[in-house]
Amino acid sequence: MKKVLMSEKIDDAGIKLLEDNGFSVTTSPATDVETMKKEIQDAYAVIMRSSELPDEVIAAGKELKIISRNGTGINNVDVDSATKHNVLVAKVNGANAFAVAEYALTCMLMLSRKIVNDDRLVRAKKDSLAEYGSMPNFSTQMGINGNELRGKTLAILGVGRIGRQLAKFAEAFQMNVIGYDPYVKDDPVKMYDSLDEIYPIADFISVHMPYTPETANMISKKQLAMMKPNAILINSARGGIINEQDLADALNKGEIAGAALDSFRPEPPAPDNPLFATENVLLTSHIAGTTAEANRALGVGAAQAIVDFTNGKMPEFPVNPDVFATN
């Protein structure tokens, strides 16, 4: 019976699919290098979530044939090492696009309408609310009457499946949607060739790009200074695309109005991360794409890639497809 090792547990539907197809499925007790090296030795396949899979772990997998990523991004997997060891890498595209787009829209609404700040103020001033005469008067005096999305400009950086879904949501709110993606040339969204053109005109900027050498620190002090004072920045993609210290400085100085981050670099963020002490920022625990519905689709997709590979079929979303021919 072929062993499938999960770095972290996936949705039960994915596990059932594997077991129904004759695989034994185990979850690693930890994701550190030494534990993974031990657990991977007799594994035919590995399913990765967000933990790292470096060269030394892949090299320890003497029976390893396929690495299936329970998600879209593969920056946590050493693909070059996998290719060198003749191991196919597959991923799951689009399964959580709706969830991530929904998360970005939710953050836009919460920050624009100042919902978190309002909640905190109502709780903090519960003993003196009557002094304001009415709740609307309280809101006015506290300066927490927010803004609508209608008529505002949303810039989507990375117009793939998630970006396109977010564009549909935004258009339903009567927003003006623009985009930037050097790999997309034909799209209903009005595309810009330069980010420097986008930053000064966008009311909202939502990042949906992978973390690569080109996108590392793509948004830092210089870019933040180009944004509107009322701009709201959202990163539900990968940590490291936005310089977190520079973002904290910009928020503290009022250079932009707000931000939401669902990913950090490193992850989890260090206790001294400056964003923990910054106002007008939402910090979440990599939940953008992990709704119950998305988790099920991701788990099934990751499992299906292994089933397909074992049956001699190319998985739907291979990363290094040339390896398939040699297996």
Structure confidence at residue 72 (pLDDT) = 87
Structure confidence at residue 284 (pLDDT) = 98
**Is the CATH number of domain 97-283 3.40.50.720?**
yes
Q: Where are the domains of the chain?
A: 3-93+292-326, 97-283
Please tell me which residue in 238, 244, 296, 316 is annotated as part of the active site. Answer: 238
Please indicate whether residue 113 is annotated as part of the active site: no
Which residue(s) pair with 153 in the sheet?
A: 176
Please tell me which residue in 52, 171, 197, 286 is annotated as part of the active site. Answer: 286
In CATH, the architecture of 3-93+292-326 is 3-Layer(aba) Sandwich (3.40)
Please tell me which residue in 8, 52, 267, 316 is annotated as part of the active site. Answer: 267
Please indicate whether residue 164 is annotated as part of the active site: no
14-65 pLDDT, tens digit per residue, is 999 999 999 999 999 999 999 999 999 999 999 999 899 999 999 999 999 9
Domains 3-93+292-326 and 97-283 share a fold: yes
Where the chain has pLDDT below 70, the residues are none
86-122 pLDDT, tens digit per residue, is 999 999 999 999 999 999 999 999 999 999 999 999 9
Please indicate whether residue 238 is annotated as part of the active site: yes
Structure confidence at residue 187 (pLDDT) = 80
Structure confidence at residue 73 (pLDDT) = 85
